[in-house]
Copies of this chain bind each other. A is one copy, B any other.
Amino acid sequence: MKLQNDLIVRAARGEETERVPVWVMRQAGRILSEYRATRAQAGSFKNLLKNPALAAEVTIQPVDILGVDAAILFSDILVIPEAIGLPYKMDEGKGPSFDKVIENESDVDALSTENVLTELSYVFETIQIIKKNLAGRVPLIGFAGAPWTIFCYMVEGRGSKTFSKSRAMLMQNPVLAHRLLSKITDATIIYLKKQIELGCDLVQLFDSWAGILNKETYNTFALPYINQICESISTVPVTVFAKGAFFSLEEMGKLPCATLGIDWHTEPSMARALAPGKTLQGNLDPAVLYGSDELIRRETIKMLEKFGPQRYIANLGHGVYPDVDHKKLKLFIQTIQAHQF
């Protein structure tokens, strides 16, 4: 089905766009009362995730309510560990946790990519419902966690300020680390290819914990796997969002991907200079949405002028904070869509 609004796809491909397109990380989430209602209906985050009809519903809500230029699949990066043999729990207010973690060779051997497609059939069903109900209005963004971030959760068992267990494994047993990263990569490729086959118009890799490494470790343990994933995908544009990885921007500029997401710590001029061939995505400080309407307009326009009108997809520099008033987010979106350069 031909897209009625394909601005984001064209911007990603480096084609000219009439205006800057925009979507927002975590646009389908707690910020919307409609999401909270559907979530309550599902009973829990994981129930919502695994209920294709409801997951499709919350995916489409921000398109209707906020007027964003893309929908992003409502799912979770941790479905991949679960699909290869490491189930997780999501505790209210405490975040995800794994009962079992990866510590040695046999733990890695026990993981299998064989059942990724069947284990994640609920995601694929969700995508089919979304595509049908979106009816080509806007593109659908698929996604997965980047291997390094998934690795962190699988080794640590939960979120962490330092992920020092994960970083200890890189130092103590790099061979084991590479084996685990490689297995995650294989599963991610299977997963993303199926998302694309079912109609995702772009895909994004989220490397949420990139920023705890440095240039050398990121280039050794993270980028090669991201590179492998990008290489395996040729039919739709890939976005790589490595939060905090300013130190590897130049190397990311050489990835076979279309778009780089940047956070609010990195100045657009720095990203343009270090990754000249890429479309950029980002990067308003999410805290700006706590400000007055005037502040939001001023900062949003400042951001637009820094990136310029082409090869650019507007977004926040990270997920929207759940306690932001959704009207403030709508103002951000509308300011972008109305801006004349």
Q: Are B211 and A295 in contact (CB under 8 A)?
A: no
**Of A15-23, A223-231, A262-270, the one touching chain B:** A262-270
- A214 with B323: CB separation less than 8 A: no
Contact A171 B265 (CB under 8 A): no
Q: Which of A236-288 contact B (CB under 8 A)?
A: 244, 246-247, 264-267, 285-288
Separation in Å of the A156 CB from the closest CB of chain B?
13
Q: Which of A168, A217, A244, A295 has the most CB of B within 10 A?
A: A168
The complex places the Cα of A211 from the Cα of B266 at a distance, in Å, of 11
Does A167 make an interface contact (CB < 8 A)? Answer: yes
Q: If A171-B288, A214-B285 touch, does A164 touch B323 (CB 8 Å cutoff)?
A: yes
**A215-B267, A217-B285 known; A290 and B247 CB under 8 Å?**
no
Contact of A291 among B172, B211, B244 (CB under 8 A): B172
Given A291-B172, A323-B164, A246:B217 Cβ within 8 A: no
A45 at the interface (CB under 8 A from B): no
Does A162 touch B at the CB level, under 8 Å? yes
Contact call A171/B246, Cβ cutoff below 8 A: no
Q: Do B290 and A171 have beta carbons less than 8 Å apart?
A: yes
Q: Does A321 contact B (CB under 8 A)?
A: yes
The complex is assembled from copies of this chain, and their number is 2
Asked if B287 and A265 sit within 8 Å, CB to CB, the answer is no
- Is A170 located at the chain interface by the 8 A CB criterion? yes
Contact, CB under 8 Å: A287 / B321: no
In the complex formed, the residue of B with least CB distance to A291 is: B171
Given A287-B164, A290-B172, A291-B171, check contact A264 B214 (CB 8 Å). yes
Let me know if A321 and B162 touch, CB within 8 A: yes
Per the 8 Å Cβ criterion, residues 141-163 of A in contact with B are 161-162
Please name all residues of chain B whose beta carbon is closer than 8 Å to the beta carbon of A164 when the two chains form the complex. Answer: 286-287, 290, 321, 323
Contact status A265-B211, CB under 8 Å: yes
Decide: B290 and A265 in contact? CB cutoff 8 A. no
* Interface pair A265/B247, CB less than 8 Å apart: yes
Contact check, A287 vs B168: say whether CB atoms are below 8 A apart: yes
Find out whether the CB atom of B217 lies under 8 angstroms from the CB atom of A168. Answer: no
Residues of B within 8 A of A291 (CB): 171-172
A91 CB to nearest B CB, Å: 16
- Could you name 21 residue pairs across A and B whose Cβ atoms are closer than 8 Å? A162-B286, A164-B287, A164-B290, A164-B321, A164-B323, A167-B285, A167-B287, A168-B290, A171-B290, A171-B291, A172-B292, A211-B265, A213-B265, A214-B265, A214-B267, A214-B317, A215-B267, A244-B265, A246-B246, A247-B266, A247-B267
